[in-house]
Chains A and B, each alone.
Chain A
Amino acid sequence: MNPESISTFPVRIRVVLADDHKMILAALRSLLAKESDIEVVGDAADGHALLELAGRTAPDVAVVDIGMPSMNGIEATQQLLAVHPALKVIALSAYSDRRFVMEMLDAGARGYLVKASAGDELPRAIRAIMQGRTYLCPEVAGTLVEAARGKARGEPTAQLSRRERDVVALLAEGHSSLVIGERLHIAGSTVEVHRRNIMRKLNLHSIAELTKYAIREGLTSP
């Protein structure tokens, strides 16, 4: 169908599919069968089956659905890449929620497509990631941009959130809740709530202990 791709890729791209819906798998097979440079070497109905399949067929690309029984796509991706680091994973999901996208990219996926755009974009996405690029469908890309525009927020790294780490640093420097609130542009009462949560999380009982923690963790400016 695409003569350019044929000439560029004399060897066809080996693809495995993972989805718990047989009809989807069948539709995808027929979709990809039309692409001369793509070859579907197998499919799996859940995460475990995918792992087994990948070990057996050594594919180039895995197209993974997120919502699967027994082991979801995110977890499956993590385990798959742990065993086959060269494998390239494209998420194909009905969901476009930011969290799914982030989780999936975090797990090591190189592409993310919603199922609605699969017909138009899956072959293109497979070829793109085979060239080492990342491919996101326009809908997912919009979600990510929106998230990036939103207020910066920290992921719960280690035990404390980023906000909580800011509060710890200022508390360790001996500032009052009011001053901390002014610095961080939040209310004094909110600082109090953060302080309580921090003490609880770290199992600390005094500001002195909190200061020690902050120094040990390098949260303070010396």
Chain B
Amino acid sequence: MRLPLIANGYRSFVAILFAALALSIAGTGFLVFHYQRAAIGRDAVERLSAVAELRSQQLVEWMKERRINAQMQARRFFLSAASEAWAARGALDPATAARFKSEYRSLGANYSYRAVTLLDRNGRPFLSTHELPVVNGEETRVVAKALQSGEVVVSDFHPSVDASVREWEIDVAAPIYSRVRDGPPIGVLLIDIDPEQSLHPLIESWPAPSGSAETLLVERRGDNVVYLTDLRKRKNAQFNLLLPLDQQRLIAAMAVTGQSGFAQGVDYSGAEVLAVVRQISGTPWTLVAKVDSDEVYASVRTLAAVTALVTGILIALSALITITWMRTHRELEGQFIGFAGAADQVFWISEVSAEHAEKLSYINAAFERIWGFPAAEVYRNANSRLDAVHPDDRGRVAWAYANWVRGSPGLDYDVSYRIIRPDGEMRWIADRGFVLESRRGAISRVAGIAADISAAKRAEQLLLQANTELEARVTARTAELEKSRHELRELTAMQDSMQEEQRKRIARELHDELAQKLTVAKLQLKAIAAALPQGQSELILKTQDVNLLLTDTMRAAGQIAADLRSPVYTELGFAAAVLDVVDDFSRRTRIACEFSMHPEDLILEPRVEAALYRMIQESLTNVARHAQATEVVVSLFGAESGGIVLEVCDNGKGMPDTGHSDARTFGLVGMRERAAILGGRMSISSAPGQGTTIKIVIPRAGGEADGPEAAGAALL
């Protein structure tokens, strides 16, 4: 399976990049090579031209020299005299002959003259430095021409008469004139020059070290070209080697057919050469300076080889890098596939086309385990994945996916859904996608991880269920608690009113029974004392003691009764009793205390009155104990809602923290509880140095305490 972590486009891009790189390296190599080759070629041609120019000039100089030398010799007197003598007498005096031979032999040695011969006006030789030669062929033609024209004539190369030695020679014929009278030439001086000695060294030498460079002379002979000099690469070729002119690329052929200047072609041995051709004026010869291409371009070849090598190395290197890179990716792909194959989650990669058609390009083995059908099906039809989604979730999943791949801003693909496996089992999937590639702002490749979260979902549902149950249980418990709290409060309230009744009853008993009976006892004691005879002073004193005792007892009983239940409250009612409390408080503590009640005829339930009375007592006790106040105002008024409001404001030091559980707070708890029993609530506003205001709101009978604070206060 191919894992398209790298897109196809990306792969071809790498291939193109590589090819371009290789081409540019090769192209650069070729250009360098070409330039170098051209430069070296130009250089070689320049050198060849220079040599050719030099050689042709030397050649012409040499010819000129030979002509002038021959002309000067031919004008010598003793030669004219000899020729006239030979013409007149047909014989020579031996001294002249000896002089000729000795002078021209030494001259010949200096000038490489093989032989010097005198000929008569008919062209017959009569005196020579050597044996009289046989004049034939070329010599005859030259001599005849000299006699005819009266000018110095130079022959072409020709073989010597003596065929056995096969030597080549050049003859110079100079006409000899009479010394005494004008007229046609009377003889000819013929100089036989050995070119091997004088001319060829001039031509065949090369001014610079070279393996193949040479200069040579060629001449046309009919339809052939003949080589006039020794050749470097072929022995005995001089005068013997004839090559046909129809060889197109043959440099010598080009030369003898009139071409001159630079030429490229092959030499006699068939090797590629560079050559420069010069026609030698005044002769039928053509000079060729040439060098093998191989030699010229040897350095370029090295360069070419180096360039090719470097190019090759570079190409190989880039190929290696590319291959390594590809392999690394393949390895990464391999690792990913291994990793993905071992994963519990489903990894998927999809291509998104412009039409937002999905094409799945990869999905790992976990898919088959979780979805329960082969991945091949998804490769064939990308929609089969969506088809497996629970119908209730399908729309949502499709919507989320479509919007995501369309690139809607702020949307991502992170969904949980249910799937129905072919075997009917339902599973929960958490699927999250991320963008792999975007082209020109459009999402082109996406990938995602889908996990089977069924177990977690089950656990979640169980937890939810447990939570709900717990919640219900807590609610039930709370209700129970509330109920029992309510019951407790009712009980407390009942206990409170029972206690109140008890107090009232005991107080009443003390007052009605004890006090009255003591009063009666006292009155009767008085009667007894009055009835006692005058002499019983001791008894009289006793009755006085008993009387005092009774008075004390009555006072104590009254005090006890008053402590249990204020007689003012009993006889004069709530308002009077509160006033009494307030006055008592002022007197006892020296704290100015005001009681303000509105309306005056506030009618309250007895149990509310009793509770308020107790709360006023408790709050004043608190003020006396803790507040360090100098003034207290107790206000009691009907609230707008119909309830009763009790406010106790002092100007004391205030409470630092209303949540503090000191003795004072403990006193407040009792008040709070009393307020709660009546369905009311208590609030405290205080700040350090600002005094304290305790406010108790009690709803009208049958009503509920307003606001949620009531419940909170009740729970305290």
Contacts and interface: CB of A to CB of B under 8 A. Distances in A.
B262 interface: no
A42 interface: no
A55 to B, nearest CB: 25
Contacts of B105: none
A118 B693 CA distance: 47
A200 B592 contact: no
B550 interface: yes
Contact of A21 (B512, B596, B597): B512
Contact of B647 (A23, A159, A193): A193
A116 B586 contact: no
A28 B519 CA distance: 10
B522 interface: yes
B594 A163 contact: yes
Contacts of B693: 193
B384 to A, nearest CB: 79
A56 interface: no
Nearest to A117: B551
Contacts of B586: 150-151, 153
A159 B511 CA distance: 34
A74 B635 CA distance: 27
Given A21-B516, A119-B523, A97 B568 contact: yes
Q: Interface size for chain A: under 10, 10 to 19, 20 to 34, or 35 or more residues?
A: 35 or more
B572 interface: yes
B571 A72 contact: yes
A115 B594 contact: no
A116 B522 contact: yes
B554 interface: yes
A158 to B, nearest CB: 9
Given A99-B579, A100-B568, A193 B519 contact: no
Interface in B680-715: 690-691, 693
Interface stretch (A10-18, A78-86, A184-192): A184-192
Contact of A197 (B517, B600, B633): B633
A200 B583 CA distance: 23
Interface of B, secondary structure class, is helix
A187 B567 contact: no
Contacts of B530: 34
Nearest to B570: A67
A115 B519 contact: yes
A142 B570 CA distance: 23
B622 interface: no
Contacts of A163: 594
Contacts of A31: 523, 526-527
Contact of B567 (A23, A24, A100, A200): A100
Given A27-B524, A120-B526, A151-B586, A115 B554 contact: yes
Nearest to A150: B587
Nearest to B527: A30
B637 interface: yes
Q: Which of B512, B595, B598 gathers most chain A CB within 10 Å? A: B598
Contacts of A34: 527, 530
Interface in B195-218: none
A27 B523 contact: yes
A200 B598 contact: yes
Contacts of A127: none
Interface string A61-74: 00000110000101
B292 to A, nearest CB: 129
A28 B524 CA distance: 9
Nearest to A68: B571
A164 interface: yes
Nearest to B557: A94
Contact of B633 (A30, A67, A150, A190): A190
B228 to A, nearest CB: 147
A103 interface: yes
A103 B575 CA distance: 13
Contacts of B633: 190, 193-194, 197
Given A21-B516, A194-B633, A161 B572 contact: no
Contacts of B332: none
A116 B520 contact: no
Interface of A, secondary structure class, is helix
B619 to A, nearest CB: 14
B580 A97 contact: yes
B497 interface: no
Contacts of A20: 512
Contact of A201 (B518, B595, B596): B596
A172 to B, nearest CB: 18
A194 B554 contact: no
Interface string B480-524: 000000000000000000000000000000011001111110111
A132 interface: no
Q: Interface size for chain B: under 10, 10 to 19, 20 to 34, or 35 or more residues?
A: 35 or more
A71 to B, nearest CB: 11
A26 interface: yes
A95 interface: yes
B555 interface: yes
Q: Which of A24, A163, A190 gathers most chain B CB within 10 Å? A: A190
A84 B383 CA distance: 114
A3 interface: no
Interface string A115-154: 1111110000000000000000000000000100011010
Contact of B572 (A99, A115, A117, A146): A99
Contacts of A99: 568, 572, 576, 579-580
Contacts of A218: none
Q: Which of A163, A164, A201 gathers most chain B CB within 10 Å? A: A201
A100 B512 contact: no
B398 to A, nearest CB: 67
Contacts of A97: 562, 567-568, 580
Nearest to B635: A197
Nearest to A33: B527
A187 B523 contact: no
B651 interface: yes
A31 B693 CA distance: 55
Interface string B295-336: 000000000000000000000000000000000000000000
A27 B519 contact: yes
B302 to A, nearest CB: 114
B525 interface: yes
B631 interface: yes
A94 B520 contact: no
B260 interface: no
B596 A189 contact: no
A119 B526 contact: yes
Contact of A95 (B519, B527, B567): B567
A222 interface: no
Contacts of B658: none
B341 interface: no
B407 interface: no
Given A67-B571, A151-B586, A164-B596, A190 B649 contact: yes
Nearest to B514: A94
B598 A23 contact: no
Contacts of A98: 583
Q: Which of B511, B525, B572 gathers most chain A CB within 10 Å? A: B572
Nearest to B645: A200
A197 B598 contact: yes
B643 interface: no
Given A99-B568, A194-B633, A27 B520 contact: yes
23 contacts: A21-B516, A21-B520, A27-B523, A31-B523, A34-B527, A72-B571, A95-B558, A96-B558, A99-B579, A100-B568, A116-B554, A118-B522, A151-B592, A153-B583, A161-B594, A186-B631, A189-B649, A189-B690, A190-B631, A193-B633, A197-B598, A197-B637, A200-B637
Interface of A: 20-21, 23-24, 26-28, 30-31, 34, 66-67, 72, 74, 94-100, 103, 115-120, 146, 150-151, 153, 156, 159, 161, 163-164, 186-187, 189-190, 193-194, 196-197, 200-201
